[in-house]
Amino acid sequence: MGCMQKILCAALKHRRFAPAIVAAMLMPLSACMVVGPDYVRPTVITPDAYKEIDGWRVAQPKDDLIRGAWWEIFGDPQLNALVTQVSISNQNLAVAEAQYREAQALVREARSSYFPTATIGIGANRSSSSTTTGGGPASPRTAISNYSLPLDVSWEIDVWGRIRRTVESNQANAQASAGDVEAARLSAQGALAQNYFLLRELDAQKQLLTETVAAFQKSLDLTEGLYSQGVDSEADVLQAETQLKTTQAQLINVGVQRAQLEHAIAVLIGKPASDFSIPATPLAGTPPEIPVGVPSELLERRPDIAASERSVAAANAQIGVAEAAFYPTVTLSASLGLESSSLAKLATAASRFWSVGASISETVFDGGLRRAQTDFARAAYDATVATYRQTALSAFQGVEDNLAALRILEEEAGVQNEAVKAAEKSVVLTMDQYKAGTVSYLNVVTAQTIALTNETTAVQILGQRMTAAVLLVQALGGGWNVSDLPSNP
């Protein structure tokens, strides 16, 4: 408080210029004194390498990061066209972008406190006093007019950094909101890509079932012909018919699931489901080789992690805002203008008035309010730190999960393809035996059912691999980088 005493003493010695002296001597203080802790990014436990990275094929040409339009690595023009529309028409993304603009407005609102507040007005009133307020005889009633044109200026000097900490907090919140926008964008893009590959998986299943229905129809025709010749029994015909109808029912069910996925994609790109359709194209190919990089890069590549870290910075600044309430508030004020009882004389030099002042106020008792607010700010900071660390841990888990899924599913696909080939050979051999009359049609049904099951499983595994690839890219942050966040200025 030594500095404050010197300021007051200087002001008292020069009463006429006291407000200017106070302002001039407080300006250096307002430029350097900021209460509350300066922000330091919390530490996060980062593994040296991904556990599931062993044996992972590095993408060629070798690149540690995916940049920009990550979905293009799948080489699907239809997917490229759909994902591009997410940034244009997705309504959840539009909400996130509007919230980011709100956060930007709050930054400008906080910055406005750096400057004085000036108000100007015009007033006119006419009044008459009571004639019976004195002890003597009633005085004659008089009416007085008053006209004014005042300009009032007030300025809170940011001596302790309350305003600066508020701006700092709002800036960090705006950056967190920008991260939320990109996280929402990546989430919508990832959801669309997953739905797209599931839809293509169903297209492949539909193609398989359509071909199978045609084959089963031929088998039914064969059994009916043999039955009419007295070679087969009616039971064989019924088995063939049951198998055909069951497969037709599966084909219809695939159509229902595909329609629902198509509708989900329509919503993701902001279009009515009634006006949207995607031509059928069976899923083909294999997942692309995805550059993974090292775990430490993940903290810079995930928009949700960046948003969480910026929330920590905002909460840290709020501690300074709360602590600034323990210090005095310094306000400068000034008024000037014109005032007269005659409208004709309002614009004359004699009607001018002015006043300049400075005030320092300090709360001496609040029942523990400020202490509670500071404790709240510190607890909120601790919560955001824990959330930040948990977000990072979940991100590492997501990468490990999908690395493992891709590795294991690739092995499973290899074994499943061998099972499909064996099942197809079994169908051919069993059908030949049935035609030769050495086995019953039940053997044919069993072999065909096993073959269909294995072929369907192979298609599903391919769909799971494509979905896992999308999830891995999403877990790696897509093509985003923390440098894409808006800067503080």
Q: Give yes or no for a contact between 206 and 280, defined as CB atoms under 8 angstroms apart.
A: yes
- Nearest Cα neighbor of 180 from 121, 122, 103, 250 is 103
> Does position 65 have pLDDT exceeding 70, yes or no?
no
pLDDT at 343: 83
Residues 21-47 pLDDT 10s: 545 555 555 555 789 999 999 999 998
- Nearest Cα neighbor of 55 from 435, 335, 342, 407 is 407
Which of 29-43, 426-440, 441-455, 467-481 has the least mean pLDDT? 29-43
Q: How confident is the model at residue 59 (pLDDT cuts 50, 70, 90)?
A: very low
pLDDT at 135: 56
SS (H, E, C) 324-370: HCCCCEEEEEEEEEEEECCHHHCCCHHHEEEEEEEEEECCCCCCCHH
> Does position 1 have pLDDT exceeding 50, yes or no?
no
Of residues 168 and 133, more confidence is placed in 168
Token digits for 227?
A: 């039955």
> Residue 128 and residue 141: Cα distance in Å, rounded?
7
Strand partners, 126: 145
pLDDT at 277: 94
Give just the sign of the alpha carbon dihedral 193, 196, 201, 207: negative
| Across 314-336, average pLDDT | 95
Pairing of strands 329-340, 143-157: antiparallel
Contacts of residue 374, defined as CB under 8 A and 6 or more positions apart, other chains included, come to 319, 322, 323, 325, 326
Residues 203-247 pLDDT 10s: 999 999 999 999 999 999 998 998 888 887 889 899 999 999 999
pLDDT at 310: 96
DSSP assignment of 88-135 = HH-HHHHHHHHHHHHHHHHHHHHHGGGS-EEEE--EEEEEE--SSSSS
Distance, first Cα to last Cα, the chain:
33
DSSP assigned state of 275 = G
DSSP assigned state of 36 = S
Residue 339 phi, psi dihedral angles, 5° rounding: -150, 130
Write the burial class of residue 67 (CB in 10 Å: 0-12 exposed, 13-18 middle, 19+ buried): exposed
> Does position 308 have pLDDT exceeding 80, yes or no?
yes
> Does position 400 have pLDDT exceeding 70, yes or no?
yes
CA-derived radius of gyration, the chain = 38
| Across 255-266, average pLDDT | 96
> Does position 426 have pLDDT exceeding 60, yes or no?
yes
Mean pLDDT of the chain: 88
Of residues 12 and 287, more confidence is placed in 287
Q: How confident is the model at residue 291 (pLDDT cuts 50, 70, 90)?
A: confident
Which stretch of DSSP H or E encloses residue 151?
A: strand 143-157
> Does position 342 have pLDDT exceeding 90, yes or no?
no
> Residue 250 and residue 473: Cα distance in Å, rounded?
33
- Domains in the chain and their CATH numbers? 32-115+161-326+372-484 (1.20.1600.10)
Give just the sign of the alpha carbon dihedral 87, 92, 93, 98: positive
Token digits for 321?
A: 């805002």
| Across 93-106, average pLDDT | 95
> Does position 62 have pLDDT exceeding 50, yes or no?
no
Q: How confident is the model at residue 436 (pLDDT cuts 50, 70, 90)?
A: confident
> Does position 9 have pLDDT exceeding 90, yes or no?
no
> Does position 4 have pLDDT exceeding 70, yes or no?
no
> Residue 439 and residue 105: Cα distance in Å, rounded?
80
> Does position 67 have pLDDT exceeding 90, yes or no?
no
Question: For 27, how many CA atoms within 13 A lie in the half-sphere containing its CB?
Answer: 6
| Across 271-286, average pLDDT | 92
> Does position 401 have pLDDT exceeding 90, yes or no?
yes
| Across 481-487, average pLDDT | 88
pLDDT at 301: 92
Give the three-class secondary structure for 57. coil
* Number of other residues whose CB lies within 10 A of the CB of residue 376: 13
Give the three-class secondary structure for 453. helix
DSSP assigned state of 73 = G
pLDDT at 134: 57
